[in-house]
Amino acid sequence: MTITPDDARALDRDDPLKDARRHFDLPDGLIYLDGNSLGPPPVQAKAAIQRCVETEWATDLIASWNSADWMGLPLRTGARIARLIGVSENSVIAADSVSVNIFKLAAGLLNAGLKGVAVERGDFPTDGYVLEGLSRLSGTPFAYVEPGAGAAGLPDGVQVLVKSAVHFRSAALADIEAEERAAKTRGAAIVWDLSHAAGLVDLKLAARGAKYAVGCGYKFLNGGPGAPAFVYCDPDLADGFSQPLSGWMGHARPFDFADGYDPAPGVARFGAGTPAILSMTALHGALEAYEGVDMAAAEAKARALGDLFLKAVDGLGFGLACPGPGEARAGHVSLTHEDGYAIVQAMIARGVIGDFRSPDILRFGFSPLYLSYEEVLRAAGILREIMDAESWRDPRFAARKAVT
């Protein structure tokens, strides 16, 4: 069954999220399927950063720590994220990077007496890299778990698992509730990496029993390149949690300038150094684009966009490195082709932005906030034309460069 432009336009008319597009001012003619890597700026993010530079920094200067509440920005930003991931408002803080935040949570679990740290082989690499570093420093064992094995695959004596809620390559969704149950029976804890899930999947973390999570601000949350990441900690556990990157911004009274660390109550103790206010202001502003967005609708639309794309490119000779149409999948799709890099470049030359992941994966992300069904169908049509004409064989598409 072929999907026609009329079908796509009908889907757009009925789209409960169609109004969210007004928050974005994308370049003319571009179809941006890379929001899973770097989201585009919502207009609120641009306005926020301009205000931060011109008024808060340049004019009010040091007073802005109070007058613009820069001091409260990490928790105010966290509160906006909390609703999107399904946890209580006061249980999230924006801070540092995913890598650094994984270290805080995993190391804090070691401080609480757990032993051993693990990651699934093939999960997003930085998660494992950081655990290697933690293992070497603390002397706790580091282990790989087989892909998809989850908490049930933890070797004896390893009690901390870092696992993506959505896999960066396959977009496969983890079963958070089942994983938490499996962890509990082993006396283990899971640190969820929400990088490819936050702002897209209706995570319902608290209801599903998740206790600890980190996530990325610059993908589906559209917070800007290298936007601050975030930490979630179950509020019933936060007051007893001891994380080792105990900088002054996690202190109960940073402006006492007292010797001796006394952690702030709750999730605020996951603050470390002075937050990157310019970057965090962009993220805080960007999150306004999520006001009124129902996360169940967002997840459903992202999957429907991906399903439409997969159906429309069926038969073009790609392998499938993600769940297929109608299956549980998050916000991107992954195709395989030995000339994937050149094909992605040929698409970029035609105004369709996706990305390439070694060794052979073409990845296309479907943000539910600014993409229409019609655009996604048009992108698939362009890919079809490129494959039919073999226009990716043009030598200018051959050279490889690293792209995040």
Q: Which of 348, 350, 378, 384 binds its own copies (CB under 8 A)?
A: 348
- Within residues 235-294, the interface with its own copies by CB under 8 A covers 242-251, 254-261, 272-280, 282
Q: How many residues bind its own copies (CB under 8 A)?
A: 98
Cβ-contact 216, 96 below 8 angstroms: no
The answer to whether 363 is a known catalytic residue is yes
Q: Which residues of 164-201 are buried (b: 16+ CB within 10 A; e: fewer)?
A: bbbbbbbbbbbebeebbebbeeeebbbbbbbbbbbbbb
For its own copies, the binding residue among 358, 389, 390, 398 (CB under 8 A) is 358
124 is a catalytic site residue = yes
Of the pair 57, 206, the CB lying nearest its own copies is at 57
Q: Which of 32, 103, 124, 364 is catalytic?
A: 124
**Shortest Cβ 30–its own copies spacing (Å):** 8
Q: Spell out the residues 6+ positions from residue 275 whose beta carbon is closer than 8 angstroms to its own.
A: 70, 73, 74, 94, 95, 228, 249
Q: How far is the CB of 99 from its own copies (least distance, A)?
A: 3
Active site (annotated) includes residue 256 = no
User: Residue 322, interface with its own copies (CB under 8 A)?
Assistant: no
What's the CA angle centered on 36, arms 303 and 368, to 5 degrees? 40
The answer to whether 300 contacts its own copies (rule: CB under 8 A) is no
Is the distance from CB of 130 to CB of 102 less than 8 angstroms? yes
Q: Which of residues 19-38 bind its own copies (CB under 8 A)?
A: 25, 27, 30, 32, 34, 37-38
Q: Residue 1 or residue 402: which is nearer to its own copies going by CB?
A: 402
Closest to its own copies by CB, 86 or 228: 228
C-alpha closest to that of 361 among 330, 386, 340, 382: 340
296 touching its own copies, by CB under 8 A = no
Catalytic residue among 34, 96, 193, 307: 193
Q: Does 231 bind its own copies (CB under 8 A)?
A: no
Q: Give residues 162-221 in contact with its own copies (rule: CB under 8 A).
A: 168, 216, 218
**CA gyration radius, the chain:** 22
Q: How far apart are CA 39 and CA 56, in angstroms?
A: 25
Give the CA count within 13 Å in the CB-facing half-sphere of 338: 0
121 annotated active-site: no
Helix (H) or strand (E) holding 283: helix 277-286
> Per CB under 8 A, which of residues 151..170 are in contact with its own copies?
168
- In this structure, what DSSP letter does residue 4 have? P
Per CB under 8 A, the segment of 155-163, 205-213, 223-231, 312-320 that binds its own copies is 223-231
Is 113 among the residues that bind its own copies (CB under 8 A)?
no
Coil, strand or helix at 355: strand
User: DSSP secondary structure string, 22-70?
Assistant: GGB-PPTT-EE--TTTSPPPBHHHHHHHHHIIIIIIIIIGGGHHHHT-T
List the catalytic residue out of 363, 364, 370, 397.
363
4 counts as binding its own copies under rule CB under 8 A: no
**Which one from 212, 218, 220, 397 is the annotated catalytic residue?**
218
Q: Closer CB to its own copies, residue 86 or residue 224?
A: 224
Residues 61-90 binding its own copies (CB under 8 A) are 61-66, 70-71
Distance CA 123, CA 120 (A): 5
Strand locations in 229-303, DSSP E? 230-233
46 binds its own copies (CB under 8 A): yes
Q: Which is nearer to its own copies, 8 or 345 (CB)?
A: 345
Nearest to 214 by CA among 240, 200, 226, 196: 196
Catalytic residues: 124, 193, 218-219, 363
